[in-house]
A and B are shown apart, each in its own frame.
Chain A
């Protein structure tokens, strides 16, 4: 029985729009997002520039569209890194014996002491600030939540009859992991991915604001926010557009995550 709930619908819709915007931006944007046009700078929203222009005369709508690419890219890579490391770690921790499992979880907890921003600043200082360092840092910082959640789920799967039977029959752990555990935690992975995506978007915005994120001229919502600071008095719209974009994207992913969680297992409702 399919369960569609308001969160899932709303979240799915918002995420869908953001993804669509990013895809469309590859083919068409109203203007070249990096084209500097001093004559048209700081224009108010009008028919020729729906969102107006920034201090360089660049079209804000085009920047928002191309910026969504950065946002999604950061989210995908960060979540990808987190999942690729965190999921096997979680499953391993669930299936291993006491000592190795404890070790993995303790190391995991240690990683929690290094939040995304701290890692990204340090990585940025070593390797130079860029989208790549930001993504990897955020990804690594998101590993602990993945590992924890997957471990919990894997532990539950381990107690099911199929797995108990398979172990009794003497099956090796690796095939068990792949054939039984992994498919049954995919729903958890999806939910966590959604939540981590939202966190990644926020982290990228904060990093760009501090100057450790995507360098110019590639449009980035976080950096647009930072550049808009000068104009809070004269042109607050320059802060509102990227600010709202960030908030909506994060909202969308959070709602999606909630909706997916509700759909896959209502018993898990509202749990972390």
Chain B
């Protein structure tokens, strides 16, 4: 167990290091001089060179990399080339917004997938099961932004029940915050839920076939409590793994939803940064996203081991 923990932690650290090099290298290759874009259209070559010196862009690449990495580890995300404002607070704020969106989306996805998947598994040879299966297939096929557009058309523009776009922090106006969160979370969550449903169904089906469940029923436990007590823990394993893997997709999928619903999250910060050639900002945001995904996968790995005792016996 301990060996595994150490091994996993080592892998995490190496992955983080390698990602940082990849991200930095990629940004270094990006054409379009950030100093020129920041200064705008007509700046003279001299002023551009000045600014490059100010940003430290004329130093050798390895030096810039080490400085950047060192800064990140200290918590110093640097200053934006374009807006001259500190990047750290911006990223932190936007990250919270995206987290709310992603978490809300995941919650909805689970709320949809858990019952739907279980029902589909329990009735997988009956018509109702097949029908649900067909609906979930359709759900997977619809892109999140299309779902968003349709939801806006119906609930915001036609019916006027919910706002079409915007964002209010929860501390400021909880009611408005919730109202503005519903549609985007639904767009992300419904589609994600459809994807998840199929995994839940498959995991529950596996569980239904396992011996220990028959044993439980033979012991006299009624089917539902048996399913609950023994089945859920085991069905949770692949589902939790998938959730972790889906996080990366969700985080980026949120980008498009953020565009449609005008939510100031990490995704739109990224897109803005790329379009403005705000190199340092893009580097930092991509790093944050990558770190988030790697860390979550790491935690999921640990939970996996914690949930499934069979995996704790050291072998692969």
Chains A and B belong together in one complex: yes
**Residues of A that sit less than 8 Å from B by CB:** 6, 106-107, 109-110, 112-118, 121-122, 125-126, 198, 202, 205-206, 209-210, 225, 229, 232-233, 236, 239, 243, 246-251, 254-255, 269-272
- B49 within 8 Å of A (CB atoms): no
Contact check, A229 vs B15: say whether CB atoms are below 8 A apart: no
B253: chain A residues at CB < 8 Å are 115, 117, 206
B249 within 8 A of A: yes
Residue in A6, A110, A202 whose beta carbon sits within 8 Å of that of B19 in the complex: A110
Other-chain contact of A210, B26, B141, B271, B294 (Cβ < 8 Å):
B271
- Which one, B75-83, B199-207, B211-219, is touching chain A? B199-207
On whether the beta carbons of B138 and A251 are closer than 8 Å, the reply is yes
Q: Take A126-B29, A251-B141 as given contacts and tell me if A115 and B202 are in contact as well, using a CB distance cutoff of 8 Å.
A: no
A255 touches B137 (CB 8 A): yes
Report if B95 contacts A (CB, 8 A): no
- A206: chain B residues within 8 A (beta carbon): 143-145, 253, 256
| Shortest distance between the CB of B306 and any CB in chain A (Å) | 19
| A205 close to B15 (CB less than 8 A) | no
Contacts of A255 in B (CB 8 A): 137
Binary per-residue interface labels of chain B (1-35) against chain A in the complex, 1 for a CB within 8 Å, 0 otherwise: 00000000001001100110000001001111000
A158 CA to B137 CA in the complex, in Å? 34
* Number of chain B residues whose Cβ lies closer than 8 Å to a Cβ of chain A: 50
Bound-complex Cα distance A95 to B20 (A): 30
Majority SS of interface residues in chain B?
helix
Residues of chain B within 8 A (CB-CB) of A272 are 199, 202, 238, 242
B-side interface residues toward A, CB under 8 Å? 11, 14-15, 18-19, 26, 29-32, 130, 137-138, 140-146, 149-150, 153, 157, 198-199, 201-202, 205, 238, 242, 245, 248-249, 251-253, 255-256, 259, 270-271, 274-275, 286, 289-290, 293-294, 297
Given A210-B259, A246-B146, A118-B198 contact (CB < 8 Å): no
Would A113 and B290 count as touching, CB distance under 8 A? yes
Residue numbers in B under 8 Å from A106 (CB-CB): 11, 14-15
Instruction: Please report the C-alpha to C-alpha distance between residue A205 and residue B144 in the assembled complex, in whole angstroms.
Output: 10
B9 vs chain A, min Cβ distance (A): 13
Chain A residue nearest to B290 (CB atoms) is A113
Instruction: Enumerate chain B residues within 8 angstroms of A233, measured Cβ to Cβ.
Output: 157
B141→A254 contact, CB < 8 A: yes
Pair B274/A121 contact, Cβ less than 8 Å = yes
A250 touches B293 (CB 8 A): no
A125 and B140 contacting across the interface, CB-CB below 8 Å: no
- Complex partner residue of B146 from A117, A198, A243, CB under 8 angstroms: A243
Q: State in angstroms the CA–CA spacing of A121 and B255 once bound together.
A: 11
- Tell me whether B140 and A205 are in contact (CB under 8 A): no
B289 contacts across to A, CB distance below 8 A: 113, 118
B143's partner among A6, A115, A202 (CB-CB below 8 A) is A202
Given contacts A206-B143, A239-B149, A115 and B252 within 8 Å (CB-CB): yes
